[in-house]
Structure formats: structure tokens, C-alpha cells
Amino acid sequence: MPISSQKSLVMKFGGTSVANLDRIRNVALHVKREVEAGYHVAVVVSAMSGKTNELVAWCKDASALHDMREYDAVVASGEQVTSGLLAIALQNIGIAARSWQGWQIPILTDDAHGSARILGIDGSGLSDSFKTKGEVAVIAGFQGIHKESGRLTTLGRGGSDTSAVAIAAAIGAERCDIYTDVDGVYTTDPRIVPKAKRLEKVAFEEMLEMASMGAKVLQVRSVELAMTHRVPTYVRSSFDDPADPKPGTLICGEEDIVEQQIITGIAYSKDEAQITLRRVADKPGIAAAIFVPLADANINVDMIIQVVSDDTTTTDITFTVPTADFERAKTILEGLRGTIGYATLQGANDVVKVSAIGVGMRSHAGVAARAFKALADKGINIRAITTSEIKFSVLIDSAYTELAVRTLHSLYGLDQA
């Protein structure tokens, strides 16, 4: 619950925004603008670009099977460096500031080291500091503390986004601004479709689907938190002129969007692999025999297609897993061949998932059917399909990624959005 009604703002800056001292000085000017506009400002920073990868590599080099508690102690240091440097840069331009580490706030998490989830934040220390000292709080993102063990934890890749939204909720901030290297959320990847447009507003539910379907602008967990706590969240560019920044894209409640497109955006994910089990016995318990062991191994299964044979005694089961888990999933299933009783296992990692997302799908029939016809007209074969209330996804050969994205982007009029 918010603990202060004072006007406050959370600003988050990613790795490319703080990649070197010149960029950190540029970030300081963005912060100064908001301080001069009358806000109490909490700034959440990532590690400087490339530093986390370097720290991770050091851990792996030290030991392939390293202690994840010590891994967290190492990789969390990148954000600590950035927070101190930004505080110094702010002080240098006359803005009172101090750095905060996750444990000092504290940001309390579970003990899943390397991918911890936030359990709670006590924002009273930050609010007291705002009121008594008027200092900008420069917070190391991506990190927290497990209260029972007292050990430092990290929140997984993109965890600074999650830190920022959670802190905004904890202090009752007016909004949370996520600064990155793009100036907002686009209808699709502008590298594939040059006509892609920046969206002024995107509903929380749409952004959640877009993030989970491959859009890299925001981390999925941060969008979940923003939606749960109704935190208005902007995606903005740190490379804009600090004196005259663009508005970015607002992630907000569906009720705050007056004119809603049927389809808001097209996302794609190359992080997909397909597994097919041929001639599986069609009897109760087989699906559980396949998918429970994968779940126990923390392998997420997405699309599932089952086709029963003509004699109705066997079935083919096709599903997708993350590319990183492809070999592990195959190994598990090969070990279960006697239990499951399939004839052959086939796999492919040259596939891509293309998704169309929009809350307007709730009130319009035939949206997905139009896409299937348009893709067929382009000679694109669909391997698998999944749908939800505001999204549909198709699995296709990766060679057709750009053609499929462009086709759907034009089909739903997003070129003219």
C-alpha cells in the first residue's frame, strides 16, 4: 500500500542508458528535469551495458557448478557501481542524492537465487528520506534480500524493471518511467517493418502478452506488477534531449484508452523449439506422463497439438518448449520412451512464434481466421496455433518470420495506425 501521498516519481534506466560516464551524466540531466518539476524522485539503475554478462562469465569460469548465493553476490555488484556513479553525477550538478542498495530499503524476496521474486518492499525509509532530506534516491535495481538468511538475491534478467515498478507501488508514485534505447512501444519491430508506429497507449493486458510473446521492451514480471498495482508506466528513451523529451508510450488500464484498435501489435519470438511424439498410445494418463516430468524439470510447454490417427488407437502430440530447454526436454522424453510408448521423437528448432495481440479481439469475430488466410496466400505453412481472449499465435518456419510479421502488420491496418 502507498505510504505517502506526496508527489513522487520513479525513473528506471537500463544498461545502454548508463553504459559509460557520459551517458550517466545525461541520465543525471533527465533526473534534474523531474526534480525541478517538483517531484521526489527515486531512480532505479541497471548495471552498465555488458557488465552483468562479464560478471556472469567470471562466475562460470571460476566454477561451472557455482553456488548461486555467491553468484548473486557477484552479479549484483554491477548495479551497485552504477548507483554510486549516478549519485556522484547528480551531486556534481547540484542535486542532493544518495545511493541505496536493495537490502537497505529493504526489497524482500524469496530465496530463489538468480531468479528471486519480490515478496514485499518497505518504502517508509525512502519516503522519510524524501521528506527530511529532499534527496534523490538512486537505487541499485535487480537485487533484494532474503530476510531469513540475510543473503543478497537477484531478480533475473530484466529485474531492474521489476524493481522499479515494485518501488513505485510501495511509495505510491504518480507514475513509473522506464527509460531505454527506444522511444516507446511499437506496433512491431521497426527493423522488420519500417512503417511500424509508436503507440501512445497500450493496455496492461496487451503489454503483458506482448512481453511474454517476444517483445523485449519490458520484462514480463514488471508488467504483471504494474497491472496488479495499477501503476501508470511509461516507456521512454534516455537518448532524447533531457530538456525536451518525447512522451513515450503509456502502459495503463484498458479503461484509459478511448480509441482501441482491434489488433494493437505483432510480436515474434525466435526462442521456440518444436517436439513431436509420433504414434503415442491414445489412452488416459499419457498426457500426464509426458508433461508432468517436463514441468518437474521447470521446462515451460507452450503450444500443444494432438492429432488422433485413423484407427483411434494412437495419436501424434506436438508441442513447443524454449530453445534453451530443447536438448534437455528431448533427453527427458527419450528416457521415458518405455513409459510413454511413442514410436519416434522428432524435433525442430528452426521455428518461430508470431503473435497478434489486441483487446479489440474480444468484441470482433473472425480476427484470427483472416490471419490464417493471409498467411496461406503467402505460402506460409502453420505448424501450430494457440489462442486466448486477446491474442493468437502461430508457429511457422523461421525462414518466413519477416514475411509473416509484415503480412499481419498490413492485414490489420497497423501500417496506417
**Residue 164: how many CB atoms within 10 A of its CB?**
32
CB-CB contact of 75 with 44 (8 Å): no
Domains recognised in the chain with CATH numbers: 8-181 (3.40.1160.10), 273-348 (3.30.70.260)
- What is the pLDDT averaged over residues 271-295? 91
pLDDT at 324: 87
pLDDT at 2: 44
DSSP letter at 149?
Answer: T
SS3 state of residue 298: coil
pLDDT at 1 over 50: no
pLDDT at 310 over 90: no
Residues ≥6 apart with Cβ < 8 Å to 26: 17, 238, 239, 242
**More confident of the two residues 14 and 360:** 14
pTM of the model as a whole: 0.85
Rounded to the nearest integer, the mean pLDDT of the chain is 92
Q: How far is CA 302 from CA 130, 273, 339, 383, in A?
A: 45, 10, 22, 13
Confidence bin at 360 (pLDDT 50/70/90): confident
pLDDT at 407 over 60: yes
pLDDT at 74 over 70: yes
Q: How far is CA 230 from CA 29, 219, 330, 365, 391, in A?
A: 28, 16, 41, 29, 22
129: left (phi over 0), alpha (psi -120 to 50) or beta: alpha
Could you give the percent of the chain with pLDDT greater than 70? 97
CA 319 from centre of chain? 23
pLDDT at 88: 98
pLDDT digits (tens, 9 = 90+) for 103-162: 999 999 999 999 999 999 999 999 888 989 999 999 999 999 999 999 999 998 889 999
**Residue 66: how many CB atoms within 10 A of its CB?**
14
Say how far apart CA 313 and CA 206 lie, in whole Å: 41
Say how far apart CA 271 and CA 324 lie, in whole Å: 8
pLDDT digits (tens, 9 = 90+) for 197-220: 999 999 999 999 988 876 778 888
CB-CB contact of 78 with 118 (8 Å): no
Q: From the CA atom positions of the chain, what is the Rg in Å?
A: 23
